[in-house]
Structure 1
């Protein structure tokens, strides 16, 4: 009974706490990441081969890599193509190109994540979220990790160059440099690191868009004056890829700002310059601003012809949920469970919006409708223009 009364007293105090009080250390826990789980499995394994395989896999941050690949593949799938069940001569996306894109992007992401861990074992050891990473636990040496990163970077870039196109390969290589060479050291210098990290997440949709453009459009005519940047501008000329990149860029602020608020004291102790402890009020405002920005970005996807009009309705529902939680996060300064609620809202928001965009892809179901109703396809003199 005493325990129950104590819990009720604590809950009452939290409810009566003024909103203008300084942010306090939160005890909200976040689930262990895949790297920590794989490191635990590697540590417990009795097989040397299995232990090494799990340790190397944990270097890649599998969940983060999966998100990167998902954003690139979704952008690839959303590139404008003729409706389903139309003429077999119509341009379509290449499955082989998608496989190369997925394989190369996975390896480039693995390389970037590994180099990030190589640079930070001393600081990772000071934080609950990262203390179980493989280099902290001595499951692998720094030299082994560097060799692994170089092999992944080389194989990934080559796969993208020959399997997709040089533009996508260049974006993949640039993202490795941006994440490992700029974002990682900047984390200990300035809160601007959050914006740089958001740029890293925005590049994969551009990779997917440029890869799809290669599959569905004729090659750029080559002349003696044609340069590599001519092809890059050609492949990235349509606004759809940039809008998807903007969506990923904006989404990362409510996601990371909520996550960092739960362990702000650990970031401060480890010397990481994060808004969550340096500028907590700004941390909340930024999360709210970029959550609101998802609305015009989704409108832009319809305006650019990437999605149909129904996407305006369905995406608005999901975006409104994110904005509501971001507003609560800002108003309560991340306290009273607001950080946890916004974090989980952001976790479900991104796959929700991307999935809805795929369902509402412009013209996707027009061919199915004509087939069901027995209508003949209208022919145009100039063929398909997308």
Structure 2
């Protein structure tokens, strides 16, 4: 075999080897940004945008908002995983994430996360508006620099974390030119209260892993019987009147309130079911219903809002 033929074969083999490596790197970065959570957040942004601009909806400003907020979300999730690398390595459910598994280096994630976040904030400031850029920056600070470190200090981290968790539709609202008023606060309150039964059920499922990793999450590894169930029920009860507020601030009509009431009763029923019998099955059922509740509620809220302008 000639030297030329050998060189050609070597080049082709290197191309073949590089292809799966590149795909693997792309997959690692995709996992780093938590695509399912980011997608749900961006859907909430789009619905918040539509709520604020129901009378004059426009696609291009929404695209700008989604791009900027999406970059900030990428930065949030990447930096969160960077700060939680050691605790992630101690939990079976997260040990195979890119950082603890050694698939991506710490400096890479630091540059990637900060770069994405700063680019997103700058993009929002120039292409959307300063209020949205500021709120996105505060969401980043609360999530990465407050909530994430507090997970090792106090169980109150869940309450702090619920604030940035409730921000996506508000970012969409302000991106459409909406002010921070009673209507936007109502949407924020719904998102805030919805999170507690959802995350408490998740924390109950993985309480031993959280404890093993040194995270001060509710519940403790061996909580008092029904304590977490009662907390879920209390928040589910509080969510019902909160979810009915949009009609009283003239954001929607009666149809939304009927749907919100039905969904709220369902969320409460699954919380009571978990309270009465705290098992992995009832916890997963509560999580499952929470993931049905939120998109249905927000879609109904948006649809009913649009009907007011038809």
**What's the TM-score once normalised by structure 2's chain length?**
0.89
Distance 1:165 1:346 in 2: 32
Q: Is residue 277 from structure 1 mapped to residue 241 from structure 2 by the alignment?
A: no
Cross-structure match for 1:69: 42
Give unmatched runs, 5+ long, in structure 1.
1-43, 83-91, 215-234, 368-386
Displacement of 1:353 = 0.7
Q: Is residue 291 from structure 1 mapped to residue 236 from structure 2 by the alignment?
A: yes
**C-alpha distance 209-147 of structure 1, shift in aligned 2 (>3 A):** same
Q: State how 1:82-93 maps to structure 2 within 5 Å.
A: 82=55, 92-93=56-57
Q: Is residue 113 from structure 1 mapped to residue 58 from structure 2 by the alignment?
A: no
Cross-structure match for 2:86: 122
Cross-structure match for 2:95: 131
CA offsets per residue over residues 278-335 of structure 1, 9 Å max, x none? 6454422222222122221222111111111111111211111111001121232x22
CA offsets per residue over residues 100-149 of structure 1, 9 Å max, x none? 11111111111011111111212101112211110011111000000100
CA contact (8 A) 1:58 1:134 kept: yes
CA offsets per residue over residues 52-86 of structure 1, 9 Å max, x none? 2221221111111112112221111112633xxxx
- Name the one with the larger helix percent: 2
Q: Is residue 254 from structure 1 mapped to residue 197 from structure 2 by the alignment?
A: yes
RMSD between superposed Cα atoms in Å: 1.8
**What's the TM-score once normalised by structure 1's chain length?**
0.72
Larger deviation, residues 50-59 vs 188-197: 50-59
The partner residue of 1:56 within 12, 29, 33 is 29
CA contact (8 A) 2:155 2:218 kept: yes
Displacement of 1:45 = 9.0
SS in 1 for 2:287: helix
The partner residue of 2:298 within 354, 365, 381 is 354
Cross-structure match for 2:168: 204
Cross-structure match for 2:184: 241
State how many pairs are aligned.
Answer: 292
The partner residue of 1:149 within 90, 113, 118 is 113
Q: State how 1:1-386 maps to structure 2 within 5 Å.
A: 47-79=20-52, 81-82=54-55, 92-213=56-177, 235-236=179-180, 238-277=181-220, 279-280=223-224, 281-332=226-277, 334-335=278-279, 337-361=281-305, 363-364=307-308, 367=310
Give unmatched runs, 5+ long, in structure 2.
1-16
Distance 1:169 1:272 in 2: 31
